[in-house]
Amino acid sequence: MISKRYFAGVAIAAAVAVSLTACAGSNSGTAGSTSSVNAKTAKTATSAKDVGGMDALVKAANAEGQLNVITLPPSWANYGKIIAGFEKKYPKITINSANPDGSSADEVAAAKAQKGQTTAPDVFDIGTAVLQQNLDLVAPYKVANWADIPTDFKDADGKWYYDYTGLMSVGYDSSVIKTAPKKIDDLLGSAYKGKVSIKGDPTQANEAASAVYMAALQSGGSAEDIQQGIDFFGKLKGAGNFQAVTPTQATVASGETPVVIQWSYNNLAWGKAGGASGNANFTTVVFPGTALGSYYNQAINVDAPHPAAARLWEEWIYSPEVQNLYLASGAYPATLTAMQDNKKVDTKVLESVGAAPKDFAQLTADQATKAATLLTSKWAAAIG
């Protein structure tokens, strides 16, 4: 009697499992087949011409109906508006935005783990260090206005291309910090006790590491040697001013993290520009002296489940409309100089953000590797 019951239970469990997998199988099967007709050509296209021009690309992308983006927070460099604008312009395509707060390494991990699945990311907005290690993951593609991107800002084959940079800046809540900081050492003062935070662990997050590099440039160090930046944060910790929590728009709005060192476009987005979810008193300062910038890169996943939509997204990103949206957030877009020349730049926006700095430092790949090595060995001790 008992043994029969066991068998029945196992049999039911097996039947359920089989029917569930059958469902899953048929679902992905149909989803895959709808887009495969145009995907063949779009998958290897290195320009819109390859698929028969912009209209054909739009048609192919519409047939796919989906676009997977990853690690694009809505308040980061105006991505909320950029995504909404794409969906408005191409209403037949739905954007699936995965893991908005993830890192560049998360993008690579998702592309590898979900390879061949319909949920894999189609496009990347990725930091240079991670990208250079994973060049086999990206497909070459050149947007229509490829010539507008300066030569140093792109791979000759079109595997990657800079999209925008911010400047490392200090955002502060003017209702808490009454006198604006004028130099980095001001942050060591008693008014900043328990108030200064950076975007995570520098041995992990590029934006946090950039805060250390900026501190180095501001305190007599250089892109070659960032030890002074680590020393600065050691002093900040010693003064009791370092707040070891990762700030977000919410912590700035609530006042939990009144001073944040991060990219200017994020500081700006969390202030007045953030509207109801921003903090109207949050003010952005870029210190005089050598500023620090760092371009992010656009790239298309070589195994993109929606190859046409991915290419259409890049065309959208480099359209003057989106480049101006980057600019409005305080991020300087890659085609800025070209847009100024052909008068496509939104002059009002450019005035309010301020002209792009003539000169700012950006760590080269070698310098970044060197800095990372130093951070690995020295950071935890300085901040512990």
Partner 1 sequence: MTTVATPLAPADTASGAGANPRRRSVVWLGLVPFAAYVVLFLAIPAILAVGSGFFDNAGAFTFANLAAFANPNILQSFVSSIWISALTALLGAVIGALVCFALLGTRPDGFLRTIVDSASSVLAQFGGVMLAFAFTATIGTQGFITTSLVHLGLADNIFNSFDNKGTWIYQVSGLVIPYLYFQVPLMVLTFMPAMQGLKTTWAEASATLGGSRFTYWTRIGMPILAPAFFGSLILLFANSFSSYATAAALISQGGIIPLAIRQQLTSETVVGVANVAGVLALGMVVVMIVLMTAYSALQRRASRWQR
* List of residues contacting partner 1 (CB under 8 A): 2-3, 6-7, 9-10, 13, 102-106, 109, 127, 129-130, 133, 193-194, 197-198, 200-206, 208-209, 237, 240-246, 254-257, 368, 371-373, 375-377, 380-381, 383-384
Residue 226: which of 218, 243, 186, 359 has the closest Cα?
218
Task: Let me know if 120 is exposed, middle or buried by CB neighbors in 10 A (0-12, 13-18, 19+).
Answer: buried
Residues across the chain: 384
> Rounded CA gap, 349 and 259, in Å?
25
Q: Which is nearer to partner 1, 64 or 207 (CB)?
A: 207
Query: What sign results for the dihedral spanned by CA atoms 266, 271, 274, 278?
Result: positive
Q: Which is nearer to partner 1, 81 or 235 (CB)?
A: 235
> Rounded CA gap, 202 and 210, in Å?
8
CB of 191 to partner 1, least distance (A): 12
Q: Which is nearer to partner 1, 34 or 377 (CB)?
A: 377
CB of 312 to partner 1, least distance (A): 27
CB of 374 to partner 1, least distance (A): 10
CB of 233 to partner 1, least distance (A): 10
Q: Which is nearer to partner 1, 9 or 53 (CB)?
A: 9
> Rounded CA gap, 281 and 175, in Å?
6
CB of 80 to partner 1, least distance (A): 22
Q: Which is nearer to partner 1, 68 or 128 (CB)?
A: 128
CB of 324 to partner 1, least distance (A): 27
3-state SS class at 170: strand
Q: Which is nearer to partner 1, 45 or 77 (CB)?
A: 77
3-state SS class at 303: coil
Exposed e or buried b per residue across 315-349, where buried means at least 16 C-beta atoms within 10 angstroms of its C-beta: bbbbbbebbbbbbbbbbbbbbbbbbeeeebbbeee
Q: Which is nearer to partner 1, 267 or 294 (CB)?
A: 294
Supply 222's token pair. 């250089």
CB of 311 to partner 1, least distance (A): 25
Quick one: how far is CA 357 from the chain centroid? 21
